[in-house]
Structure 1
Amino acid sequence: MSRIAVELVPRDNETLLRDFEVVRETAPEVSAINLPDLLRMPVRSWEGAATLRAAGPLPIIPHVRAIDIAPGAPLPGAEDEGLREVLIIAGDPPPDETHRVYPNTSEEIIARYRREAPHLTVYGAFDPYRRAPYQELEALQRKRDAGASGFFTQPLFDRRLLELSASWLEKDTVFWGVSPVIGPKSRAYWERVNHVVFPSDFEPTLDANIAFAREVLQFARARNDNAYLMPLRVDLAKYLTPLRDAMR
Structure 2
Amino acid sequence: MSLARLSVELVPRSAEALLEEVHAVRTLMPAADTLNVPDLTRFPLRSWEAARLAQPVYGRVIPHIRAIDIAPDAPLPGADQPDLQEILIVHGDPPADLSRRTYPNSTESVIRRYRREAPHLRLYAAFDPYRRAPWQELEDVARKKEAGASGFFTQPVFDRRLFDLCREWMRDECVFWGLCPVIGPRSRSYWETTNHVVFPHDFSPTLDANIAFASAVLKELSDDAGHAYLMPVRVKLEQYLPPLMASLT
TM-score of the two chains, using structure 2 as the length reference? 0.97
Aligned to 1:2: 4
Q: Counterparts of 1:202 and 1:57 in 2: how far apart (Å)?
A: 34
Equivalent residue of 1:18, what SS?
helix
Matched, 1:107 2:123: no
Task: State the match for 1:80 in structure 2.
Answer: 81
Q: What is the CA deviation profile of residues 192-240 of structure 1, one whole-angstrom value per residue up to 9, with x for unaligned ones?
A: 1100000000000000000011112112112221000000000101100
Match of 1:63 in 2: 64
Structure 2: distance between partners of 1:204 and 1:220? 23
C-alpha distance in 2 between matches for 1:58 and 1:19:
15
The match for 1:125 is: 126
Number of the residue aligned with 1:169: 170
Counterpart in the other structure of 1:18? 20
**CA distance in structure 1 between the partners assigned to 2:73 and 2:147 by the alignment:** 18
Which stretch of the first structure deviates more once superposed, 186-195 or 215-224?
Answer: 215-224
Encode CA deviations 1:54-75: one digit per residue, 9 max, x unaligned: 3x14310000001111113211
Alignment partner, residue 212 of structure 1:
213
The question of 1:200 aligning with 2:165 is answered no
Moved over 2 A (4+): 245-248
Q: Deviations over 1:56-95 (max 9, x none)?
A: 1431000000111111321100000010000000100111
Question: What SS does the aligned partner of 2:64 have?
Answer: strand
Letter paired with 2:14: D
Task: Look up the match of 1:147.
Answer: 148
Q: Distance in 2 between matches of 1:205 and 1:241?
A: 16
Structure 1 match to 2:53: 51
Matches within 5 A, 1:232-243: 232-243=233-244
Alignment partner of 1:122: what SS?
strand
Following superposition, the deviation at residue 108 of structure 1 comes to: 1.1
Q: Would the aligned equivalents of 1:176 and 1:216 in 2 still touch at CA under 8 Å?
A: no
Q: Which residue of 1 aligns with 2:245?
A: 244
Report if aligned partners of 1:4, 1:247 keep a CA contact under 8 Å in 2: no
Aligned residues of 1:177 and 1:228 also touching (Cα < 8 A): yes
Rounded to whole Å, the distance in 2 between the matches of 1:209 and 1:234 is: 11
Distance 1:102 1:198 in 2: 34
Match of 1:226 in 2: 227
Q: Which residue of the partner structure matches residue 179 of structure 1? A: 180
- CA shift, 1:185, in A, is 0.3
1:122 deviates by 0.4
Matched, 1:137 2:134: no
Q: In 2, Cα distance between the equivalents of 1:22 and 1:74?
A: 33
Once residues 20 and 87 of structure 2 are traced to their aligned partners in structure 1, the CA distance between those partners, rounded to angstroms, is 23
In structure 1, stretches of 5+ residues that fail to align are: none
User: How far has the Cα of 1:247 moved from its partner?
Assistant: 3.3
Residue segments in structure 2 that go unaligned for 5+ positions in a row: none
Quick one: which amino acid aligns to residue 167 of structure 1? E
The number of equivalent residue pairs is 247
Contact 2:34–2:58 at 8 Å: present in 1 too?
no
